[in-house]
Structure 1
Amino acid sequence: MRHGKEESSSGKDQIIDLISAVRELNGLSSRELNKLLKESENFTIQFKTVKGFLWQIDMEKLASSLPLHLIAVLLSPDRDMHMGHVLRGFRLLHTLSDLAIRHGRLEQILLDDVKLSEQILDLVFYMLIVLAYCKQDKHIGSSPVLHSVLVACSLHVLTGYFSSQWHELVLILNAHPKVDIFMDVVFDAMQEDIRILHSKLSELNNEVLCEKSSLRAAERTAHYICQQCEASLQFLLSLCQQKVIRDRVLKHKELCKNGGILLLACMILKLNIPDCFKESFDIVATVSRLKAKILSILLQLCEAESISYLDEVAGSQKTMHLANSVALEFLDSLKNAFRQEAKQLGDSHDKSSRMGLVLLNALRLADIFSDDSNFRSFFMTNTIPVLADIFAIPHDEFLSSWCSVNIPMIEEDANLEYDPFTTAGAALCTLNDGCETAQSAPVFLTETNYACPSSFSGIPSVAYAQQRTSYLVKIIANLHVFVPNICEEEEKDLFLNKFHKYMLMEILQLSRYPSSSGIQKATTICKNLSSLAEYARSLTPNLLNDEDVHLLSGFSDQLKKLAEPQIGNNLVQALLVKDEGTSDNKDGYPMHQDTQNNGRTAPSLPRKLDASAQDEALIFNTNDVDAKGRTLEGSLQEMDQLKVASDPTENFETREHAKESGLQEDDKAESAQGEEKQPRKRKRNIMNERQIFLIEKALLEEPEMQRNAASLQSWADKLSCQAEQ
């Protein structure tokens, strides 16, 4: 190499020349370097530096010396002061790999030389080791983007110099004697990436709130770091999708038995978007895709046939605790994704809205956890509220979302098309020219608007809709199944009873007294379960087997039988408390005139219950029925047999008096306690004007309504809705 007219003559001068050469050449694109090479003689390029000096560089010598030079910098005691130079070196390595396919001479040096190939592998390994344990390297932490871009650029050197075909690359990695160290440190480096991302998102949010930086600048910085993390995680996912590496990971003690992968998963799933960035589609979508990709990595390991990942995880209390934490997080992600799905209906789909397959992957993992004996009990308890939320949505909405192939919205994914040259260049703008001290990121990001391009990655809408419904069915089947020779006797109907108890608690706690909204929720859950069981038959045998469908149908039928008495009993109370003759006492509970107590008022049922009393009430109510032995359906049939009259309220009162005369014997016990007169007193005011209008309309349109169960249920639902208004 020549600098001006002086030739380098000593080893020290050679290192100085390499540092200068890296600084000058890393900013030239492969097209620019290719032009210089075509104009060169004997593979020595000539160009003018920024300061106007004439440079001559032997590219063959530079290419063969660069990997070892960068390793030497990484092994030096003061490496943390030169990480900007290392990034420039990696940027130049990527440019040289692009040139190698156009120049046979470079290809022989960089791609065909076994010794140089080993050096490049060692360089990547050393780089990741440094990045995995860089907490003491203050310089890397001082730049908001340096660590994440170094991880991503290091990993992508492997595809540039060895193979872009994953099945070929994993064979090369697997043959390396340090492959286990590589797998260990790459996950550790990603953990450090996510830790820094957590910190930077919070710092940038504070800067915006304190008006130390603009929202736009902070947003660009946050999005840049998120994309570097996504590029690295996408690389890891591609590795784990190959059986050779997946099996290697499953046998790795640190990653599996000691919870290295679970720790990374927990950190990513706990990522929260600060308030100032919640309106940024780019950041929201990228963080969502991070969660989708780590869930996909977990799926790759859980679905492996060679080794049971969950058995390995269940081997220690520490990893069991981590796995339970991850389960809680992806259940929360599932709940949030489902809620956001409703909010996003009607929104246009563009690149910024490709949120990844969070919901589908979470459902797939829920299916696996619910079927694993190590986690079934814990998972059962924590998944019931999520399932109840899903089944409590309005029936029409449930049908369109879960019982149709034409669902309102599907998830979309995207793969980043990572360009190391451009992304490294953007990161280097955060460093002062001539020194390695980081400047504030917002300055650079105000001037730079770089984002990695992405390509659509998804599945057909019909397949997506059917898959997610099948996973929902499997989760319920897994939790409801009872195998006598394997399961404990107390596990029989455990899920059914827990779900039923939760549903009743919701009815009681939805308000301070039984309301039609709580009853409506329970009724909707049963109705949606029944519809799902019917639709599930269409997914056999490709996505579901007959046993899955049978278990869901059994669960649906049994839950309905358990819930009907409570729904009917609480419906009566819900209608009673809507009486216009009620008033509220000082505790906020409805008060009714008590004719047996000389007009004094008494609190309406149900009374306040403490926690233990509520539990006892729930157990008692499991087999409770209306005092007259009637169910909700029976009560509704009686109500719907009314005749239209000029005064519907009078007609209703007369009808009730007629019914009471026929039930006089049944009411004797109640009469002794003074309770039989309460219903009679309120009969005129049980229904509001809207309900009365609906009954009139129903009887005019469907005079034979009482003979049609489906019509009865439909009108009962409408009446309940009107009661809430």
Structure 2
Amino acid sequence: MSNMIGVLQPIQLKAAVKGLHWRSSLEIHKLLKDNEDFCICYNSEVEGEPPKKINVEKMVGILPMHLMAVVMHSDGDDSFLQYLLCGIRLLQTLCDLTSRHPKLEQVLLDDVKLSGQMIDLVILTIILLGKNRKESWNSDNDSLLDATLVASSLYLLHGFISPNYQDLAQVLLAHRNVDVFIDSAFGAVHNVVRSLRVKLLYRRTDLPQKLGVDTLGAVNIHCQQAEAALQFLHSLCQHKLFRDRLAKNKELCGKGGVLMLAQSILSLTVSPEFVGESVTRASMSRMQAKVLSLLHHVFEADGVSFLDEVARAGNKHLAKTIAREVLELLRLGLSKASKASASPDYPMGFVLLNAMRLADVFTDDSNFRHFFIKHLPVVLSAVCCLSHGDFLSMLCSSDISSREDDATLDYDLFTSAGAALSVFSSSGQLVVPQFKLSFQNNLTMSSYAHQRTSLLIKIIANSHCFVPNVCKEEDRNRFIKNFMSGLRKDPSSILVNLLPGPSYTPVAQRGTGVFRNICSLLRHGQSLIPNVLNGEDFQLFRVFCVQLEPLIRSEFEESQAEVKDIQGTEGNLSGKQQRTEPLNLNNEEASENCDVRVEGVATKQGVNKKMEIGEGLKESDADASNLETSGSDTSSNKGKSLVDQLDDGELLLRKRFKGSASGEVKEDERAENFLVFEKLRKKRKRSIMNDDQMVMIEKALADEPDMQRNSSWIQYWAHKLSQNGSEVITSSQLKNWLNNRKAKLARANKQGWPVRDSLGDFPESPGDENTWQQKPSTPITDQAASRTPKTGENPMRSSSSSEEGLKRGQQVVLMNERGDKIGIGMVLRTDGEWYGLSLETRRVCVVDVVELSAYDWSKMIIPYGSDDVGRNFEEANSKFGVMRVAWDVNKLQY
């Protein structure tokens, strides 16, 4: 063996990399263990020459700088890129050995200078691969090499920094070139996806018999490399600081880099000859799910409105392309929601769930709301045309037939690099690795079903809610009109792939069937509050339901007749029902220039004063008892026929909203209900100003706190703010906003709430929010002692008006017979009847327990238990999705 000289020369280092990169960490470990001088031998490239010997510690010390020199002088040459991949592969192997060899740990992990060089190596490599190298893709092997280099470079960061993405995010954010890295990383992954797309499209022209095992394997490997690289970026974006930094990157956000990557992934299609290749199809589907999740993270980033930045940069068309893809995924996903999933060995990812999350963001954004209001209702109306049984199993059940599953790719850098390098070996034989998946079935079946239903209700709430000065006037009532228009269409032409077969309500019973489904969804939605569904979104969905009912009645004669028959028993519509005029919904612009009556929502200025919301928004606990259950597997409707459930649902809506359809609402009731609806509408998380405008006006108010008194200041700032947002802000709007802000500050000071500016959250009034959340400094036991009713006084009696009585949403402490603290809960019901139990008579209230003092108490037998509500806390949680129990009032502290 030739002896190693004192200083390693580049030619020696290059030979060592080529001679050692193919050895696994176990093999190198054995070689180092057998040599006390920390040297190992490798075979020479020249045939006949004896093996060479090299000191590993010295090699590691200069290898990162050596590879950086290769990157800077490569000019995209594939031979250099092959060598670069060999070097990265060897570095990863040595990083794996740091736990076994202290010398390697000291050099690779503890040397700050070398760690910095390693980060610089990764960034330089990503910059090189982030350029548009499309012209150099001369073969499938070239594109596979690029794809493997991108993934390997990113995952090398795990080797010498940390396997934890949060640690990675912190280290990268502290680097001087973090913005360049973020921009280049997204560009590099985009190049990988583009080359994969070209490869898949090119294969369409090949005859199936030409596609051998090697070809299919190469496509499979390429797809796995793309998934691994995207997975890396997605994991980084799950951390708040990183995604906030990404959202502020002008190249990626304003110029549409993130959106272009998403568009490329969402448009990936599998050619016919790969139909049977489950691994490839599943990998592509998981990529789509991950890029939807990544977009959702970025859209929800703090400090900057991503969609506003995109619109301001003139790239709104790119976001609209994503919106179209999301809409198509919703159509396909809701069509397949009752279809059995693919092979459990190859999870397809949360495509539908993440598409619904994005749709929730889009429908709540003024830039894209109009697009979704125009196209989404047709899909939703087709879903509502499903037969009642299919609709219940799809959206009103906790035990659905199938769900989406996700998985994380366990990326093996050594194996992946070896597979790509094998095609450049002398044999040219592709070695297809077996990739492993870490399954992420962390969602139970009921949790997945509840999230899907909750998101659907939120999307409807966003789309139907109209906020003056934020929403466009032409969008008033447009969602519900387009929904009605969709009911006339053939649902089988909209939804696809329903199994075991398309099952829709016959046209002759379309109105009754849709109304029945809406009632069931309304009941089921009530059971999801507050754990899964926000109460505000549910209230807005309920408004949609009551406004939809008279339109269905007028559109479908059979529904009109059936509702009359049902309501005849109540005596409020018998023979004296005022027929609502049918709407011409064929024309999307109908009612723009005429008085079209949509119950409860104005279509022309001034009609709001006549809104007939009815009693639907009154928080009547007696009526709410009808909505307590889910309408499916967890409800008290078990054993009832579908007709009985329909009767219950229709009677419920008519009982709640009888005034809105009959015209019998009194003027004072109209005024009260209008105010309630206005209050609910104002609580929507929309504002005439975006985050940047909020910061501007708050800074101005710090210098001019009484701006609302100066008209010239108001005019100046209204004009200035309008130039920095998508909405035009008038002087009167700004003045009202300033007055409201001042009132909220005064109210916060008076009530003892923490004083925040307009960038924080303000309760609308002391009764609008849960006051126990606003006053954490006062111990619950002290509050209970100060508010305990006098002996003999019924605390339920004055719950609607007295501060001393129990209120819905109030926090309480549950006690047992001995006075021991069981847990903390929130009051849900104080009167009416709950599963046959008269709450007022028995002096009992319904409580949602949010925390038990001891785990063992989850098995404790609860009072008033039954088969319907469960016998202990654990069973109650399985029934309702929350530990909902009936508890004696005298055993509550509040």
Alpha-carbon distance in 2 for matches of 1:246, 1:413? 22
Matched, 1:74 2:71: yes
C-alpha contact (below 8 Å) 1:356/1:413 kept by paired residues: yes
Q: Give the CA deviation at 1:379.
A: 1.6
Q: Which residue of 1 aligns with 2:572?
A: none
Alpha-carbon distance in 2 for matches of 1:311, 1:545? 25
Which of 322, 328, 345 in structure 2 is aligned with 1:351? 345
Mark the structure with the bigger radius of gyration.
Answer: 1
Q: What amino acid is the match of 2:125? A: M
Tell me: CA distance 1:49–1:395, structure 2 relative to 1, closer, same or farther (3 Å).
Answer: farther
Alpha-carbon distance in 2 for matches of 1:462, 1:516? 26
Which of 439, 442, 450 in structure 2 is aligned with 1:455? 439
Where do residues 466-477 of structure 1 align in structure 2 (5 Å cutoff)? Answer: 466-477=450-461
Q: Which residue of 2 aligns with 1:531?
A: 520
Q: Which residue of 2 aligns with 1:563?
A: 552
Q: Give the CA deviation at 1:537.
A: 0.8
Q: Which residue of 1 aligns with 2:128?
A: 130
Q: Which residue of 1 aligns with 2:102?
A: 104
Alpha-carbon distance in 1 for matches of 2:53, 2:214? 39
Q: Give the CA deviation at 1:709.
A: 7.6
Q: What amino acid is the match of 2:129? A: L
Task: Give SS of 1:415's match.
Answer: strand
Segment of structure 1 superposing worse, 242-251 or 547-556: 547-556
Alpha-carbon distance in 1 for matches of 2:516, 2:215? 48
Q: Give the CA deviation at 1:618.
A: 8.6
Matched, 1:41 2:36: yes
Alpha-carbon distance in 2 for matches of 1:433, 1:471? 55
Which of 412, 415, 419 in structure 1 is aligned with 2:412? 419
C-alpha contact (below 8 Å) 1:99/1:106 kept by paired residues: yes
Alpha-carbon distance in 2 for matches of 1:267, 1:306? 27
Tell me: CA distance 1:144–1:107, structure 2 relative to 1, closer, same or farther (3 Å).
Answer: same
Residues 377-407 of structure 1: per-residue CA shift (max 9 Å, x gap): 1121121222223222221111012111111
Residues 193-240 of structure 1: per-residue CA shift (max 9 Å, x gap): 11001011123343343x3232x4333222211111111111101111
Tell me: CA distance 1:300–1:709, structure 2 relative to 1, closer, same or farther (3 Å).
Answer: closer
Q: Give the CA deviation at 1:431.
A: 0.5
Where do residues 520-599 of structure 1 align in structure 2 (5 Å cutoff)? Answer: 520-521=509-510, 523-568=512-557
C-alpha contact (below 8 Å) 1:406/1:465 kept by paired residues: yes
Residues 530-589 of structure 1: per-residue CA shift (max 9 Å, x gap): 2111211111122223332232223223223213333228999xxxxxxxxxxxxxxxxx
Q: Which residue of 2 aligns with 1:372?
A: 365
Q: Which residue of 1 aligns with 2:375?
A: 382
Q: What amino acid is the match of 2:556? A: I
Q: Which residue of 2 aligns with 1:601?
A: none
Task: Give SS of 1:145's match.
Answer: helix
Task: Give SS of 2:82's match.
Answer: helix
Tell me: CA distance 1:375–1:177, structure 2 relative to 1, closer, same or farther (3 Å).
Answer: same
How many pairs align? 569
Task: Give SS of 2:206's match.
Answer: helix
Which of 292, 295, 314 in structure 2 is aligned with 1:295? 292
Alpha-carbon distance in 2 for matches of 1:36, 1:556? 73
Alpha-carbon distance in 2 for matches of 1:382, 1:491? 13
Q: Which residue of 2 aligns with 1:169?
A: 168
Q: What amino acid is the match of 2:104? A: L
Alpha-carbon distance in 1 for matches of 2:585, 2:544? 27
Alpha-carbon distance in 1 for matches of 2:643, 2:349? 49
Q: Which residue of 2 aligns with 1:87?
A: 85
Tell me: CA distance 1:616–1:535, structure 2 relative to 1, closer, same or farther (3 Å).
Answer: closer
Matched, 1:331 2:324: no
Segment of structure 1 superposing worse, 258-267 or 549-558: 549-558
Tell me: CA distance 1:614–1:137, structure 2 relative to 1, closer, same or farther (3 Å).
Answer: closer
Alpha-carbon distance in 2 for matches of 1:150, 1:63? 20
Q: Which residue of 1 aligns with 2:605?
A: none
Residues 247-294 of structure 1: per-residue CA shift (max 9 Å, x gap): 111111111111111111111111111111122221121111000000
Task: Give SS of 2:52's match.
Answer: strand
Alpha-carbon distance in 2 for matches of 1:570, 1:40? 88
Residues 147-176 of structure 1: per-residue CA shift (max 9 Å, x gap): 111111000111111111222221211111
Q: Give the CA deviation at 1:144.
A: 4.3
Q: Which residue of 1 aligns with 2:786?
A: none
Alpha-carbon distance in 2 for matches of 1:212, 1:424? 26
Tell me: CA distance 1:139–1:484, structure 2 relative to 1, closer, same or farther (3 Å).
Answer: closer
Tell me: CA distance 1:509–1:522, structure 2 relative to 1, closer, same or farther (3 Å).
Answer: farther
Q: Give the CA deviation at 1:27.
A: 0.6
Segment of structure 1 superposing worse, 73-82 or 113-122: 73-82
C-alpha contact (below 8 Å) 2:386/2:505 kept by paired residues: no
C-alpha contact (below 8 Å) 1:97/1:110 kept by paired residues: yes
C-alpha contact (below 8 Å) 1:328/1:382 kept by paired residues: no
RMSD: 3.3
Q: Give the CA deviation at 1:350.
A: 2.3
Matched, 1:22 2:17: yes
C-alpha contact (below 8 Å) 1:204/1:218 kept by paired residues: no
C-alpha contact (below 8 Å) 2:411/2:435 kept by paired residues: no
Which of 478, 483, 486 in structure 2 is aligned with 1:494? 478
Matched, 1:218 2:215: yes
Alpha-carbon distance in 2 for matches of 1:343, 1:509? 17
C-alpha contact (below 8 Å) 2:396/2:524 kept by paired residues: yes
Q: Give the CA deviation at 1:332.
A: 1.1
Q: Which residue of 2 aligns with 1:199?
A: 198
Alpha-carbon distance in 2 for matches of 1:248, 1:556? 41
Q: Give the CA deviation at 1:496.
A: 1.1
Task: Give SS of 1:57's match.
Answer: strand
Tell me: CA distance 1:482–1:261, structure 2 relative to 1, closer, same or farther (3 Å).
Answer: same
Alpha-carbon distance in 2 for matches of 1:32, 1:708? 69
C-alpha contact (below 8 Å) 1:507/1:518 kept by paired residues: no
Q: Which residue of 2 aligns with 1:429?
A: 422
Tell me: CA distance 1:332–1:427, structure 2 relative to 1, closer, same or farther (3 Å).
Answer: same
C-alpha contact (below 8 Å) 2:409/2:435 kept by paired residues: no
Q: Which residue of 2 aligns with 1:464?
A: 448
Q: Give the CA deviation at 1:177.
A: 0.7
Alpha-carbon distance in 2 for matches of 1:456, 1:706? 40
Q: Give the CA deviation at 1:508.
A: 14
Q: Which residue of 2 aligns with 1:262?
A: 259
Q: Give the CA deviation at 1:89.
A: 0.7
C-alpha contact (below 8 Å) 1:135/1:141 kept by paired residues: no
Tell me: CA distance 1:509–1:311, structure 2 relative to 1, closer, same or farther (3 Å).
Answer: closer
Q: Give the CA deviation at 1:47.
A: 4.8
Q: Which residue of 1 aligns with 2:801?
A: none
Alpha-carbon distance in 2 for matches of 1:613, 1:418? 53
* TM score, norm. by length of structure 1: 0.73
Tell me: CA distance 1:489–1:174, structure 2 relative to 1, closer, same or farther (3 Å).
Answer: closer
Tell me, which stretches of 5 or more residues in structure 2 are unaligned?
495-503, 562-583, 599-641, 651-894
C-alpha contact (below 8 Å) 1:148/1:228 kept by paired residues: yes
Q: Give the CA deviation at 1:453.
A: 3.5
Alpha-carbon distance in 2 for matches of 1:132, 1:712? 57
Q: Which residue of 1 aligns with 2:272?
A: 275
Q: Which residue of 1 aligns with 2:816?
A: none
Tell me: CA distance 1:78–1:167, structure 2 relative to 1, closer, same or farther (3 Å).
Answer: closer
Which of 36, 39, 58 in structure 1 is aligned with 2:55? 58
C-alpha contact (below 8 Å) 2:218/2:432 kept by paired residues: no
Alpha-carbon distance in 1 for matches of 2:223, 2:319? 25
Greater per-residue helix proportion:
1
